[in-house]
Amino acid sequence: MFASKVKSQVELEGGTVIIKKLSARRLEEARERKQLQFFGTAKAMGGEVLRAIRSLPETEVKAAAEQHAQKPDSGDERYGSFDRDAVLKAGIDSWSFNEKCNAESIDDLDEPAANAIFRAIVDLSLPAADPKAEEERQAKD
């Protein structure tokens, strides 16, 4: 019930990161930050792109939506819905590295480490799309 009480470990080369489950509020904040980034990018592309998207025939839009719905879930949507920086800063509890665990150090994580920790936090925070996979993940912990 209380997300912050649920914790897990992520083993990385040279140390361990303790992560915590994100509350519904923190997940929503990370989702909203991602949406704001998307709209900022769309706005930066200019009105021409938005007009082109709006001018697509409805049949093409429906066909693309149906094709997307039939596509097996690669997991990208699961992770792509959240701002990684917000998830990392809210979900990293502590670590065993010499560097102090703070916002500046979290910003300094390299891509493989940041991605592994981010995915682990999202997996811990959201119910599994596949309950069997969730059972296997919990068996590892």
User: Which regions of the chain does DSSP assign to beta strands (E)?
Assistant: 7-12, 15-20, 92-95
Tokens of 61: 């839009």
Provide the pLDDT for residue 4. Answer: 83
pLDDT at 59: 74
Provide the β-strand partners of residue 16.
Answer: 11
pLDDT of amino acid 131: 65
**pLDDT confidence of residue 140:** 65
How do beta strands 7-12 and 92-95 pair?
unpaired
Are 9 and 18 in contact, with CB atoms under 8 Å apart?
yes
Please indicate, yes or no, whether the overall pTM of this predicted structure exceeds 0.85: no
How do the domains of the chain map onto residue ranges? Answer: 3-140
pLDDT averaged over consecutive 10-residue blocks of the chain (141 residues)? 92 96 95 82 68 74 60 65 96 97 97 97 86 64 56
What is the reported pLDDT for 72? Answer: 46
In angstroms, the CA 129 to CA 54 distance is 32
